[in-house]
Structures are given as structure tokens and as C-alpha cells.
Amino acid sequence: MDPVDRTNLRITGRHKAVTGPSVTVENDVLVIVTQVFGPRGDNLVGISGVDFDGYPAVTLGLRAGDREGLVHLSPIHGDGRKSKPFDLADGTKCELFCPVSKQPLDLVGEVEDGSGARYFAIYLTPQLSRGSMVMISDVWGHYHSRIIDDFELISAWAARHD
């Protein structure tokens, strides 16, 4: 199943217009997630006191085997920095959940790269729409997140423009 609504998908390159409360584009190439919501509408940005370059972290719950904790992700798209609760080997399959409600993140679909990873959603608006979300991989060390805002795949545009 393709997780992207290709009927409504458009890539225009006009991302200066995409500066709402959820995504900010700075210096024409820096995409910063400024708010995201879990499956019940809980805000996941700035709840931990951890920041990256002055921007509050995105915090998710993480389970791997018998270990559980909070992982704090850089809100700067493409920045792989994170603060993790314990050491994990790359390739470890993880369960991702909302740290506030403890609900599992919504499954979006399989990542089509042969890794066995799946995408899970954190939403850019309180309406919890798949048209405005960040898709996060459930495999540790698999840096293939995607940002979709108003059904536009921002991360693909950002990756192609220096």
C-alpha cells in the first residue's frame, strides 16, 4: 500500500508559503518542525526541555525488547541528532508511542526500500490529517523520515535543492 495520496500530492518548490504553526522554512533550505501531535492530539514538541540549536526537540516514546524510554529528536529535517534513553544497534526494530497518552503511533505503511521498516505518523496539525504529517521509520538508524504538508512532499523538495 502506498502511504502517499498521489492524487493530491504536488511538489511546487514554493515552500516559503509553507510557514504555518507546524513547519518553518528558513534560509530557503532549513525545514524545522515546530509542532507535531500524537495519535490523540497531544503536542510532542518542547515537552522535554531538550533542544537542538535552540529549537525544542520532538519527543517520542520508544520500546525495544524489554527496554522503554523517551527519545528526543532534532526538529530540523534531515538532522540525525537525537538524545536516546539507552544504546541501540542500527537495524533494531522499535515500537513508537506517544509519550503523553502512551498510545502507539498510527501506522502509515511499509517503507519500500527492502529494509523491513515501516512508517508511523506524527501529525503537523491537531486535525491529525495524513495530508499534514511526518512519517517516522520504526527501525533504529534508518534515516528515511518524510514530511508531508497540505499533501505536498516537502522532504523530497528539500532533498533536491541545495
Mean pLDDT calculated for residue range 80-90: 88
Closest Cα to residue 70, out of 39, 49, 93, 92? 49
| The overall pTM is greater than 0.85 | no
Q: Which three three-digit cell numbers place residue 51?
A: 533542544
Tens digits of residue pLDDT in 92-122: 999 999 999 999 999 999 988 888 899 999 9
End-to-end CA distance of the chain: 31
Q: Looking at per-residue confidence, does 49 or 16 come out higher?
A: 49
Is pLDDT of 6 > 70?
no
Report the alpha-carbon distance of residue 30 to residue 152 in Å, rounded: 16
Across the chain, how many H-helices and E-strands are there?
Answer: 1, 13
